[in-house]
Amino acid sequence: FTLLSVGLCWAIGTTAAIYLQDTFRGRGLLRAVFLIPYALPVYAAVITWAFMFQHDNGLVNHVLHDQLHLTDQPSFWLIGDNSFYALLTVSVWKGWPFAFLIVMAGLQNIPRELYEAAALDGAGMWQQIRRITLPSLRPVNQVLVLVLFLWTFNDFNTPYVLFGKSAPEAADLISVHIYQSSFVTWNFGTGSAMSVLLLLFLLVVTGVYLLLTSRGRKTADV
């Protein structure tokens, strides 16, 4: 779940940031619209999504089943296997504007002369993105991916508000397990142990990630 959420957030945010790199009419308005999910309070946004995922009168089933006829019958999004996709949708919807904002800031530091020189040499848009944009954004992306990973892996508010105290098995995150052990079954020992293990796991992942990215930068410099 975390890998899918982080990957989609990064891909959508980067694509949107590159698209808005050029100046055109309505650019400022579009940028403001893109940042709305990030600016909204988490609880209000997730509760809205919970209503949209309702089986009988939710907007999602209305569009997919009644309007587009993509499903044979209205789907249950908040229980069963579909709960994974519901949680992933909300997580990506909340997270990609942050990636968009960070990448947008990173793009401002890339000299325009590089693109002009590449265009004179006959490089197309995709070649400029692959040869100039993505390599220049590597330091920004390294930090961005780490922050998104920690943010998503530790996310408790989204599954708790979306599903309640007991999340479906397909969308059962470690943060919900810790809460259930500590405050539902009152097994504070298990909850504390899981919290410590989660902290150690994230520390190890962060350390390994920083080590690998540091070696990658040194190799690139050589």
Give the model's confidence band at 14: pLDDT under 50 very low, under 70 low, under 90 confident, else very high.
very high
| Pairwise CA distance, residues 28 & 113, whole Å | 23
Tens digit of pLDDT for each residue in 51-77?
Answer: 999 988 889 988 988 888 888 888 888
Per the structure, the complete domain to which residue 57 belongs is given by 2-221
Tens digit of pLDDT for each residue in 80-133?
Answer: 888 999 999 999 999 999 999 999 999 988 888 888 888 888 888 888 888 888
* Amino acid letter for position 57: N
| Pairwise CA distance, residues 122 & 103, whole Å | 26
Q: What is the CATH number of the domain that holds 12?
A: 1.10.3720.10
Alpha helices in 129-187 (DSSP H): 134-136, 138-153, 157-163, 174-179
DSSP 109: T
CA 83 from chain centre, in angstroms, equals 17
This prediction's pTM: 0.85
> How many structural domains are present in the chain?
1
